[in-house]
Amino acid sequence: MKSFFLLLLLPVMTMGQNSDRFLISLKDKKDKPMAYFNFYIDKVYDKRQMQDNIGTIQKGIANSRQLANFDKPLPEAFGNYFSVVLPKKEGARKLSICFYDLFVGEKTDYAGNEETGLAVAVVDFIEERDGKPVTVGRFSETAHGKSGWDITSTHDDRIKEVMQRCFNAFNNLGSEQELNIPFDPLVPQVIKSIEIPPKGIYISFADALNGNPTETEFYASENEGRFLLFSQPMRTPVNGYYGFSDGQGFYLNLGKYAGDNFYYRAEIVGPKYLVFIPNRDKELFMRIAPIVLGFSGPAIADAAISDTIPVLIDRLTGQLTMMDDSQLKRLLMPYPEIWTKFEKGPRGMSERKTALQAYFEKVKK
């Protein structure tokens, strides 16, 4: 029975396959210039790790999952939008913007019959100084929205709201608070792939692989395996960044996969991260199981459905692969000495990590 529910999750959790996307457009005749900002956006850079989607949305009464994306490439979609809401004007400051991440998500409160939508953006504001581009502001912002029925049709509103939050944050930045970090307009290049990165907060996957943190002073709060990240000294929430390291372990932001804004411990196994993602669909599956499987009486026993789902996330591409017992068995069966040892023992994160490390060592030779 357990494998049935994991099988249902497979289309939800597998990000690398080609499939139809739920397309989001930023074009709206109601958009007007934001006259209170004295800057305009000249160029849009895209340095996101995953560029084939911007997260997962829920459709229909059964809340079936579908990957979402813009109807145009991100630089074009936002370039057109910025030209309307932040048009070029005399005397305005000329800036560019770089996206390190942008994603949407949804979650459902079945008891309250309410859906919550989420949009997260992590961006740099860039200005040319002495003929060279430099980052003058770096922000991570989040926007939420609730609906009693279906939140999917309003993701464009939250994307625009989260961008306005970024504009406000930059506009409120005093000149003495502006950054002066050299900006490379090229796509991030992975120079080296280290194991656990040095202590710090990482804005992009390339920075994590290269061991180049954005900042090193932070505070993390943990609750049942989920971590919230705060900057020092103000302890303001840091959402949407790629991940952080405490020097002993690495914690990955799973927003684009799990639809929330928490960080989870990620074990490094060769070219992958091994992460246990919380099964947010557990309650839904408990409700529909009697209908789908033709049962009468009580729904499936709670223990029959996993609380968490083990997944592998490619450290370079971000592609996610489910790694439950059946998937792991298929992976390890060609190597009986690895599979037999794993099969006969406990199957927690530590044991999965050991088995997968042994597997990647084998295939690397």
What backbone phi and psi angles, to 5 degrees, belong to 114?
-140, 140
Structural domains of the chain, ranges and CATH numbers in brackets: 16-186 (3.30.160), 188-320 (no CATH), 324-365 (no CATH)
Degrees, nearest 5: CA angle 68-259-202: 100
pLDDT of 294 reads: 45
Q: What is the pTM of this model?
A: 0.78
Supply the mean pLDDT for the chain.
82
- Residue pair 121/68 in contact (Cβ under 8 Å)? The answer is no
DSSP string, 66-114: EEEEESS-HHHHHHHHHHHHS---TT-EEEEEEEEEEEEEEEEETTTTE
Could you tell me how far CA 94 lies from the centroid of its own chain? Answer: 29
Residue type, 14: T
- Residue pair 137/179 in contact (Cβ under 8 Å)? The answer is yes
Question: Distance between CA atoms of 125 and 168, rounded to whole angstroms?
Answer: 12
pLDDT of 77 reads: 97
Give the burial string for 97-115 (b: 16+ CB within 10 Å, else e): bbbbbbbbbbbbeeeeeeb
The secondary structure of residue 203, as a DSSP letter, is S
Burial of 273 (0-12, 13-18, 19+ CB in 10 A): buried
DSSP string, 31-67: ----TT--EEEEEEEE--S--S-SBEEEETTTTEEEE
Per the DSSP assignment, residues forming a β-bridge with 237 are 230
Question: Which three-class secondary structure state does DSSP give residue 180?
Answer: coil
pLDDT of 107 reads: 76
pLDDT tens, position by position, 91-132: 999 999 999 999 998 877 666 667 788 899 999 999 999 999
- Beta strand pairing status for 39-46 and 22-24? unpaired
pLDDT of 317 reads: 86
The residues, any chain, with a CB within 8 Å of residue 30's CB and separated by 6 or more, are none
pLDDT of 10 reads: 36
pLDDT of 226 reads: 85
Encode the chain (365 residues) as per-residue pLDDT tens digits.
333 333 333 334 444 443 588 899 999 989 999 989 999 999 999 999 988 889 888 776 666 778 899 999 999 999 999 999 999 999 999 999 999 999 998 877 666 667 788 899 999 999 999 999 999 999 989 898 877 667 888 899 999 999 999 999 999 998 889 999 999 888 777 777 778 999 999 998 989 998 999 888 898 988 878 898 887 766 677 778 899 999 999 999 887 776 667 899 998 888 899 988 776 655 555 444 444 444 444 444 444 556 777 888 999 888 888 888 888 899 999 999 999 999 888 877 788 889 998 998 888 76
